[in-house]
Structure formats: C-alpha cells, structure tokens
Amino acid sequence: MSQTLTAATTSQGLGRISPERNGANMAARRSIACWSVAPRILTGVLAVLTVVSIIVSIVFGAEHIPLGEVWRTVLGRLTGAEVDAGYAVIIWELRLPRSILAAVVGAGLALAGALMQALVRNPLPRRPPPRGKKKKKAPARAAAGLLETAHPHNPLAEPYLLGVSAGAAVGATAVMTLGVLSGFGVWALSGGALFGAMAATLTVYTVARAQGGLTALRLILSGVVLSSAYMAVSSLLVFTAGDPHAAESVMFWLLGSVAGATWAKVPLAAAVVAIGLVGALLIHSWLDAYAAGSDTAASLGVPVRALRNGLFAMQGVLVGVLVAVAGGIGFIGLIVPHAARLIVGATHRAMLPVTVCAGALFLVWVDVVSRELAAPREMPLGIVTGLIGAPVFLFLMGRRRYEFGGAT
C-alpha cells in the first residue's frame, strides 16, 4: 500500500510527503475507514427528515391545511379509506406531488453539483502512460488517502457551468414564444427544455473535444461561451415575439418552480436521480483517485478519459431532465456538496448520500418559503435559493482552513 501511494504521489509531482502530512493522511484514512458510523447515521437522519418535511410542507400554501387532516388524507389514500374529497384533491393531486418533485429535484441538483465539481477538478495527463505497462489497481483506501494532497482546480463549479440550463432555456423559450411542440400539450414545455438541454450538452462536448481533446479547462470555457450564446438566443426570441407576457413567463421559468408538478413528472426525474446516485457510488473509488489528479488516477488503474466522458454524460442528463421539469434553480449544486464535504469529508462514498439527502431536504423547505414569503403569490425558487445560498457559501468560505469542503 505504501509503495503504491509513493509511486502515485511521485507521478503527480507531489514530491516527498512530510511526516506531518503523512500523519494527516493516515488519520484521514482511519476516519474514512470509520465512515460507516457517522455518515450513514447522518444520511438516515436526513432521509427521515426529508420524508417528514414532505408531509409537513403540504400544510402550507394559499389555504393552510391542518397537519392532522394531511396525515388522514395521505394514509386514507394509501389504505383506501374514505377521505374528504376537497382536501384529497388539494393534498394528493397538487401539493404532495409538488413536494416530492421538489425533493427529487433538490437531490438531483446536489448530486449533479458534486459530479460537476469532480469533473472539472483536474486536467488530463500531459502525456499518456507508456504502452504495455501494466497499471496498478486502485485500492479504495489508497485513493481516499490521496484526497488529502489533492488541490482543487475549480471549487466554484456547479451544475449549470456547462451551459445545460441555458440550452434548456432556448428550448423552453421557443415553446412559449413560437409555439414549438405545441402538439405535445402539457408536455410541450418540458419536452422543449429537455431537447434544448441535450442539444446544448452535445454541442459543448463536441466543441470541447475538438483539436486538443477533452480537458476540464476546455469544458469550462466551452460551457461559459456557449451559455452566453444560448442566453442571447433566448433573449432574441423574447424580443421578437411581440408577446408582452412572454418575457415574464420565460423569466419565471428560468428562475425555477415546481408549482406545475404532477404525478406524471415524478417517476422520470426520480429514476434519473436514482440511477445517477447508484452509478456514482459504484465508481466512488475512481472518483476519489481522480480527485487526487489525473496522473495519479491513471497510475492507479482508473480509465481517466472514460471516467471524464461518463461524468460529463451523467451530469448532462441529470441537469437536462431536472431543468425540464422544474426550470433553472441555482446554488443547490454549489453549496450542498461543499457543506457535505465539510461535515463528512471528501470521500465520495461518504459524501454522495449525504449530499443527495441534504439537497432534497433543502429544496423542500425552499419551496415552502417560496409559497409563504410573498403569499398569495409564489416566489420563484431560484430567488429563494440565491438569498439563502449566497450567505451560506460566504460563511463556508470564511471558515479557517476551509478549502473545497475540507481542511487544508
């Protein structure tokens, strides 16, 4: 194990590790080995709080419903018992799917943020490993221990960095201003947004892969530039539409909302988030090794290029589907992964479940605040997440020894 770590750190250009740093690494590995206690308990607590919060959130809205009536209606629908018809429509058809969708979207955006921050942390190796040389397998603890020496390249990465949200905005704006996909009825807006998001993802990927190959820097630059272009197209569509209500509708959608949630929207979003979480957990040791550097990951047997392509595709699909059902909601994918790392450490096996549950819990209550803050009108979710997220992130940045969710 020590030989593997020495070779890996040398290939990364980290030089000799001081006794103090080596002691820190060993302590980190011991804490990582014990993750099955604290992070699992925290994940369970957050999951229970999310379920309870979903039920409690049904109370709030234009008409407050007693919590006892909420419990009776939900249990009655599940058991087939007779319930009040008026409350049943409000609770079961309007507010419950809304709260569940908020939890799913929050979980997905937090997961996408964690994957995005993993994706853009490291450049590709400057030179490929020698052909014919057998690569060493990546022990999970070795990769996790190397996280202490990893240096973040872009700690401000968030799900919309690659232009997926801006591409979805073009599709949604085309539906609202030009009547594109009008034959799909209630699915037109979500379909247009999803089509735009996927088109944007493929465009960014194609541009980033051109010439020099796919690198984190090229991904970021391509995403930023193309996002500006997509937003310009959206603005042009609104400006030339001649509809005075188009700008307001587009702006409200861009800031995010789950007010139009239905049971039909929940399964697709939930399935995508579940598949993304399971997939990320299956490769958690690869993600840990990759966080220590592309050269280090390659020396430990991680298929770096395939991993980067897979992360890009997974993040693109996640954000595309979630933006299609809820619009653009910022800050969740930025602050929740940072907070999770600060609490349970940077190893993905421990951090990802906490991140997902925390994101779900956070957006459920953000949705409640959006209903109550400007009642009887509803405030877009993006405004609330921005008002909450900015101070929280500034607080995290102000902590001593804080770097990318961990101590330096």
Q: Are 178 and 212 in contact (CB under 8 A)?
A: no
196 lies in some domain: yes
Q: Residue 175 is inside which H or E element, if any?
A: helix 164-178
- What would the pLDDT profile of 26-63 be if each residue is shown by its tens digit? 444 444 434 444 888 999 999 999 999 999 999 998 88
Whether the pLDDT of residue 105 is over 60: the answer is yes
Q: Are 180 and 68 in contact (CB under 8 A)?
A: no
190 lies in some domain: yes
- What would the pLDDT profile of 266-295 be if each residue is shown by its tens digit? 999 999 999 999 999 999 999 988 888 778
State the number of CA atoms in the 13 A half-sphere of 363 facing the CB: 35
The CATH number assigned to the domain holding 201 equals 1.10.3470.10
- Which three-class secondary structure state does DSSP give residue 237? helix
Q: Are 311 and 119 in contact (CB under 8 A)?
A: yes
258 lies in some domain: yes
Name residue 24's amino acid.
Answer: A
- What would the pLDDT profile of 252-267 be if each residue is shown by its tens digit? 888 889 988 999 999 9
10 lies in some domain: no
15 lies in some domain: no
192 lies in some domain: yes
Q: What pTM, to 2 d.p., does this model score?
A: 0.80
Name the token pair of 387: 């008002």
- What would the pLDDT profile of 307-348 be if each residue is shown by its tens digit? 988 888 888 888 888 988 898 898 898 889 988 988 888 889
371 lies in some domain: yes
- What would the pLDDT profile of 229-253 be if each residue is shown by its tens digit? 998 998 888 888 777 777 777 778 8
The CA dihedral of 14, 17, 23, 25, to the nearest 10 degrees, is 20
Distances (CA, A) of 10 to 5, 234, 299, 347: 8, 49, 10, 21
CA distance 153 to 83: 55
248 lies in some domain: yes
According to DSSP, the residues that pair with 407 across neighbouring strands are 402
Task: Report the 10 Å Cβ neighbour count for 23.
Answer: 11
Its domain, for residue 186, covers 52-125+150-407
Q: Are 147 and 210 in contact (CB under 8 A)?
A: no
Number of domains in the chain: 1
